[in-house]
A and B are shown apart, each in its own frame.
Chain A
Amino acid sequence: MMIAFLSNNEMVPLIEALAKRLEVIAPVLSGGQPVFATWNGQELALDAENPLSSPLEFLLPSREALFRYVQLSGRYTFEEPSLPARLILGIRPCDLFAVEVLDRIMTEEPCDQAYLGRRRSTVLVALNCTRPGSECTCAQMGSGPGCVAGYDLALTPLGDGYLVESGSPAGVLILREHPQFFREASNEEIARKEALLAASREQMIMVRPDLSLQSMQEAISAADWERLGDLCLRCGGCSFICPTCHCFNVLDLGVPDGERIRCADSCILSGFSRMTSGANPRATQGERLANWYRDKFVYMPEKIGLPGCVGCGRCHRVCLARFDRRKLEALP
């Protein structure tokens, strides 16, 4: 592992250098709010809260064309889109953890080639969280506030600059190729990182001291799901925003030529589990909601050994019914 220090005023020159070879995705402002988008020289929003839409959409887009089909002289030909090489700058530990969750799910045999293609061509530069958001629970879920694996480079903001740690050969390469932007990190700076992250963790745990994977499992088995289903406004937001949600639907659009599209699906919708006969094994909104929670906190830990909740708090931020973890715990 290499450790270095990047001062604030070297950040933009570094990105400019990286953007010559890769499409750099970074938090920038749109409508005054942080979003992950292609960096074209805009002001960076690394200090802002984690954008509402997670950068996982660059690995598993909410809508992508898998291939284009074209009919020529009665025969179909297929064109696959080319994937851009990308670098995601500023992915937070929670979202990085979600990448690990998706890696386990999507690369299990049979491997999802579309996911793998994007995953392989993406460099991940993580940003550790020294200032957690009010809905953040990564400390309780074990995914943050500092990342421990899965990154190519990890940045920790120290005020005047960033402590930079490499986590993969790709990360080392970036440090080696651009030595002019980095200097050696001091032991004090390394210690400061640990102290900042410990304080950040402390802060989250103080807000919700009793929250844990186990406490959520207990709340899920105790909850009155039919009552919660009556309150749910069926927007599907929790499933569309969750960085570990990965269910999709496939449709062919266009005749005779067109595209095979895959787009995000949602188990919050009744059509997700409804059969052709009209019968639905998850017939009520309560059952569907319970399934979503169980998937995150029970099924995924059982199946892949990792929680399906990374503690990013987004499902709460987008919930139209303001139905949230706290309400879930409060209800008998």
Chain B
Amino acid sequence: MEKIHTTCVYCGCGCGLFLHVEGDRVVGASPSPGHPLSRGRLCIKGWLAGEFVGHPDRLRYPLIKRGDRRVRATWDEALSLVRDRFLKVKEAYGPDAIAVLTSAKGTNEENFMLMKLARAVLKTNNVDHVARLCHAPTVAGLSYAIGSGAMTNPIESLLESEAIMVVGSNTTEQHPMVAATILEAQSRGAELLVFDPRRTQIAAQADIHLTPAPGTDVAWINGLLNVIIEEELIDEVFIRGRTQGFELVKEAASCYTPEVVESITGIPPHLLRAAALSYGAAEAASIVYAMGITQHTAGTDNVQALANLALATGNLGREGTGIYPLRGHQNVQGACDMGALPDLLPGYQKVSDPRKIETFEEAWSVDLPRAPGLTAVEILEAAEEGSIKAIYISGENPLMSYPDRDSVYKALKALDLLVVADIFPTETTRLAHVVLPVASFAEKDGTFTSTERRIQLISKAVSPPGEALSELDVIFDLMKRLGAPYRSLSPAEVMEEIASLNPHYGGIRYRRLGIDGLQWPCPDEDHPGTGILHREAFPIGRARFRPVFQKELHESPDEDYPFLLITGRTLYHFHSGSMTRRTSLLDREVPGPVVDVNPDDAGRLRIRSRQRVVIESRRGRLEVEARIDPGLMPGILYLPFHFSEAPANALTARALDPASRIPAFKISAVSMRRA
């Protein structure tokens, strides 16, 4: 038996673990005591992370669509077909009829090369990935405000906080290692403030739990700032020395008195004041947030409102302070860093900046497209309208994870070419013209970048099943077939290319990573990496305040659709469930979908626990079992999106945040009745 040290494949915490390998099979997983963050601990998904790897459902051979079936093909047949159709589409409709969706589950090296395939070989900036559905507002909002869209401090810095504000994050279930750190900080004396319409486990542990009505975040965050300003708890030295634009924000916040906030959000004034005093008076206070902030049509405004709060109180650039956006996938941070974004090159360098794009043109000896491409949801809209004809999807399952499932289905059906590279058959591979079987995290080398900017190694523990290949090799093969002059590189060599083009990764070399990894920015080979950002200055010089105002929601409960549906995840499953539903203990723990209903609503509609109900929105309908949850506010329903039996995204809308193009997953007006 061998024990191979690697990095967990689930959430953005980036915990270290050993895969136990016997006879080329993964037979177990265990925590890594020496890992800098997880220190010998894992969550339930981490403990069971090795199980799906050897599942008999794994994709073993390339598949090609013949009629309504997908039949086994050779790699040569599959990739020749991909090449021919790409070229045909490019010739008939131009390069921008092609799009590439990379994978936040893939490695940095795979994301970088897929991005390069899109830009340098296919010649389109239509490249995006699932960050569009989770933290696009963070990238947009924090980049504007403080010059960087990443978590400002290491997770362990939370241990030094006096007050920790957790907003729209079910932390114990979605980022258990962060939750463990927060609760440890609380046991050492930090005050824990949780803002969530649901009474989650961390909300139940909070010193103050506030339950704003969904979609009213700008109002209460401005309200907090207003109290802080009135109580003179702002950090004037910080504001004067390191920021610009405070006056306008001050003016905007003054409209949000505790009484106004109560009328919009339902938060009682005394609790708002208590929370404001706790955050404002702390010597070091931090803000932790997740999808409850970002997945709104006002996602970028929400992020800016939080940044305004941190800037006004000087809670940045020091131990125990900071803004902690929690990234959902183990490498969604890395996929963003690698420039798998339609408007940004690796290292967040703008496509529209001629000097930046020329650097890449020189390095790759090609002309690159200069107009920003389409975002993920827009790519599918364009496919439905017919202007996108071919999509390469790596390890994503848009039929389950994108909003408005009916439209996604129509879009994917309309394509001339849909290529899906994945480890398991999914709802989306069932629509593909070509399915490419690729290696899972246990079957390849590479790096993942965790939510705290920690670049960490993953190591090949076993061989991929059947004829499956590492996706990096598939990309190089495809590049060659498309006539690109790039030779195949090992993952370590790809990292050297990344280092030469992404200044934050300038000093990253495989031999330097060990089990501690390195936190970017790490500009050169002697640089030890950076824990806390913005200590002395912001990358943009002065940080920018921007006034934000509460806006109308794209959809509110009305007579026909009287409930507000929130979608999300559970502790025991991950996204569309392709891995966790094939992990026996996880699947047994939560074997199917349930919608959470407040007891009063349930009583009124005569719905009992385990009763089947029909939920309907303007987009679609589904049938699901109900569970009575006293921790939910009246008028609100909660449904996880893991389950194809009741796909939550049949109900969600494609309403987008204008700045970041994220869909508003957290707000759908729905009706509910007994089935």
Contact = CB atoms under 8 A, between A and B. Distances in A.
A32 interface: yes
Chain A CB within 10 Å, residue with most, of B1, B27, B51, B180: B1
B47 A38 contact: no
B584 A249 contact: yes
B18 A53 contact: yes
Interface stretch (A56-64, A108-116, A161-169, A186-194): A56-64
Nearest to A35: B3
A19 interface: no
A271 B179 contact: no
Contacts of B40: 52, 317-318
Contact of A63 (B16, B27, B32, B205): B27
A33 B32 contact: yes
Contacts of A150: none
Given A237-B31, A251-B584, A317-B33, 15 more contacts: A31-B34, A53-B28, A63-B50, A63-B51, A64-B27, A234-B571, A240-B30, A240-B47, A241-B30, A265-B585, A266-B585, A269-B589, A317-B40, A318-B40, A320-B42
B176 A235 contact: yes
Contact of A32 (B187, B515, B585): B515
Interface string A267-287: 001110000001000000000
B20 interface: yes
A53 B4 CA distance: 13
Contacts of B28: 53, 57, 61-63, 264
Interface string A308-332: 0000000001111110000000000
Contacts of A63: 27-28, 50-51
A25 B20 CA distance: 13
A66 interface: no
B20 A62 contact: yes
Contacts, number: 126
Contacts of B368: none
Contact of A318 (B16, B31, B183, B201): B31
A233 B205 contact: no
Interface string B584-620: 1100110100000000000000000010000000000
B1 A38 contact: yes
Contact of A253 (B4, B41, B56): B56
B51 A263 contact: yes
B1 A278 contact: no
A258 interface: yes
Interface string A20-42: 00000100001111011110000
A60 to B, nearest CB: 11
A230 interface: yes
Contact of B180 (A25, A230, A321): A321
A187 B302 CA distance: 76
B5 interface: yes
A37 B2 CA distance: 5
B179 A278 contact: no
A13 interface: no
A34 to B, nearest CB: 9
A254 interface: yes
A263 B26 CA distance: 12
B172 interface: yes
17 contacts: A30-B2, A31-B515, A33-B34, A36-B1, A58-B1, A62-B28, A63-B50, A231-B205, A233-B43, A254-B56, A263-B584, A271-B589, A318-B31, A318-B42, A319-B41, A322-B180, A322-B184
Contacts of A249: 584-585, 588
Contacts of A321: 180, 183
Interface in B462-518: 514-515
B527 interface: no
Chain B CB within 10 Å, residue with most, of A35, A241, A251: A35
Contacts of B1: 25, 36-38, 58
A236 interface: yes
A237 B42 contact: yes
Interface string B199-213: 001001100000000
Nearest to B571: A234
A33 B588 CA distance: 33
A25 B176 CA distance: 33
B671 to A, nearest CB: 26
B201 A230 contact: yes
Nearest to B46: A235
Contacts of A241: 30
A36 B18 CA distance: 11
B248 interface: no
B274 interface: no
A38 B2 contact: yes
Contacts of B55: 253
Given A25-B1, A35-B3, A61-B28, A237 B51 contact: no
Contact of B172 (A31, A233, A319): A233
A52 B32 CA distance: 8
B4 A30 contact: yes
B44 interface: yes
Nearest to B587: A271
Interface string B533-573: 00000000000000000000000000000000000000100
Given A31-B515, A63-B51, A263-B584, A52 B3 contact: no
Given A237-B41, A266-B585, A318-B40, A31 B5 contact: yes
Nearest to B183: A321
Nearest to B41: A320
Interchain residue pairs A-B with the least CB separation, the first 9:
A31-B5, A62-B28, A271-B588, A35-B3, A53-B30, A254-B56, A271-B589, A31-B515, A33-B34
Interface in A47-100: 52-53, 57-58, 61-64
Nearest to A52: B33
A235 B43 contact: yes
A53 to B, nearest CB: 4
Contact of B33 (A33, A57, A240, A265): A33
Nearest to B28: A62
Given A57-B28, A237-B42, A265-B585, A230 B56 contact: no
Interface string A140-163: 000000000000000000000000
Interface string B1-36: 111110000000000101010100001101111100
B206 to A, nearest CB: 12
A52 B5 CA distance: 13
A30 B27 contact: no
Contacts of A263: 51, 584-585
Contact of B31 (A52, A62, A270): A52
Given A269-B585, A278-B610, A236 B205 contact: no
Interface in A203-254: 230-231, 233-237, 240-241, 249, 251, 253-254
Chain B CB within 10 Å, residue with most, of A234, A235, A321: A235
Contacts of B584: 249, 251, 263
Interface string B142-185: 00000000000000000000000000000010001101100110
